[in-house]
Amino acid sequence: MLDCAIIGGGPAGLTAGLYATRGGLRNVTMFETGMPGGQITQSSEIENYPGFFEHDKTGMDFMDGWQKQCFHFGLKHEMKKVERVAKTGEYFTVTLEGGETAEAKTVIVCTGSTPKRAGFKGEDAFFGKGVSTCATCDGFFYKGKPVTVLGGGDTALEEAYYLSNIVSDVYLVHRRDTFRAAPSTVERVMKKENIHPVLDSVVDEVLGDAMGVTSVRVKNVKTNETKILETPGLFVFVGHDVNNGVLKDVNSGFICEMNDWGQVKVDLSMRTSVEGLFAAGDLRIEAPKQVVVAAGDGATAALQVISYIQEQA
């Protein structure tokens, strides 16, 4: 019987593992599909991590020490995909790919979320070289320069607003002539003089060279006319997939409370609506989707797990 099963080995899962093992729990296993590190390992640079401002380290380099530290204190890693978590009486059953199971007193789910891709030409080739899904991380690179933002939902409009305080101009490209975002957000964004809506339009192709993006070709979906936006940055906000599959029950409902967008409802201690089940990082409600926050969530959840186990003993 595990004291704690941690699902996902990104910043939230690794930090949960560190705090759980250093806090005295002996039997803690982190289930992670691949190598630990999470989505930040796809990034060529790290922004917004306090005390860390070297730009010569990749996300992979940055996360290397995190796993070493956890394993040093006794965290076990099983490189396995978790299919499902279920509460069976007092304890949890974690079902792994292939059908094997593990029993645990507590579970911390840290499976993150995945920004969706829009599917235009050049998106994958220039991802991380001018195409970004994180304004907080990458907005500063375009200080005083123009950028393109793609999307018409709350995230696109809120991030366009955030960027408009850093960059010179924001071209807000949306495939329809009305925005999906909340009317109050649309009103606030439309008042910004340096945000320019490009409506009924999609990104046709992102153009660039070895140095990265140089411009973005957009196409009006009603007239088929194309035009070039001379922007070195393109931010894509076309929705997120929350990696919440492990919390689905056999009837495709969820074992704990979620919000309408599939994010896990937690309190300030990262407790879900199910006793002994915690969620941390990008998959929880109102997640700012930053490494420092995911790590903080993981620490909070692990400290709460320790108290929970002590109370149950």
| C-beta of 15 vs 113, nearer to ligand NAP | 113
Q: Are strands 195-198 and 170-173 parallel, antiparallel or unpaired?
A: parallel
CA dihedral 186, 191, 194, 196 (to 10 degrees): 50
Per-residue x/- marks for ligand NAP, 107-126, CB under 6 A? -----------xx-------
238 touches ligand NAP by CB under 6 A: yes
Q: Where do the DSSP E strands lie in the chain? A: 2-7, 28-31, 76-78, 82-88, 91-96, 101-109, 113-115, 131-132, 147-150, 170-173, 195-198, 201-209, 212-220, 226-229, 233-236, 240-242, 277-279
Out of 23, 239, 245, 296, point to the residue binding ligand NAP (CB under 6 A).
239
H helix intervals, 34-174:
59-72, 135-138, 154-164
How far is the C-alpha of 223 from the C-alpha of 253, rounded, in Å?
43
Task: For residue 310, count other CB atoms closer than 10 A to its CB.
Answer: 9
Asked if residues 240 and 219 have their Cβ atoms less than 8 Å apart, the reply is no
* Choices 167-175, 205-213, 221-229, 284-292 (CB under 6 A): range interacting with ligand FAD: 284-292
Q: State the nearest-atom distance from the C-beta of 277 to ligand FAD, in Å.
A: 15
How far is the C-alpha of 17 from the C-alpha of 22, rounded, in Å?
8
Per-residue x/- marks for ligand FAD, 31-50, CB under 6 A? xxxx---xxx-xx--xxxx-
* Choices 6-14, 149-157, 187-195, 209-217 (CB under 6 A): range interacting with ligand FAD: 6-14
227 touches ligand NAP by CB under 6 A: no
How far is the C-alpha of 104 from the C-alpha of 308, rounded, in Å?
13
* Choices 19-27, 60-68, 141-149, 236-244 (CB under 6 A): range interacting with ligand NAP: 236-244
| C-beta of 195 vs 236, nearer to ligand FAD | 236
What is the CA 148 to chain-centroid distance, rounded?
21
Q: State the nearest-atom distance from the C-beta of 197 to ligand NAP, in Å.
A: 12
Out of 4, 6, 11, 232, point to the residue binding ligand FAD (CB under 6 A).
11
130 touches ligand FAD by CB under 6 A: no
Annotation says 4 is catalytic: no
Q: State the nearest-atom distance from the C-beta of 145 to ligand NAP, in Å.
A: 23
Give 264's DSSP letter: B
Contacts of 109 (CB under 8 A, 6+ apart): 7, 8, 85, 246, 247, 264, 272, 277, 278, 279, 280, 283
Annotation says 177 is catalytic: no
Per-residue x/- marks for ligand NAP, 170-209, CB under 6 A? -----xx---x---------------------x-------
Judged by beta carbon distances under 5 to 8 A according to partner kind, the member of ligand NAP, ligand FAD, none in contact with residue 261 is ligand NAP
Q: State the nearest-atom distance from the C-beta of 10 to ligand FAD, in Å.
A: 2
Name the nearest CA neighbour of 309 among 2, 87, 3, 1. 3
Of the residues 134, 204, 282, 297, only one is catalytic, namely 134
Annotation says 61 is catalytic: no
As annotated, the active-site residues are 134, 137-138
Residues binding ligand NAP (CB under 6 A): 118-119, 150-156, 158, 175-176, 180, 202, 237-240, 261
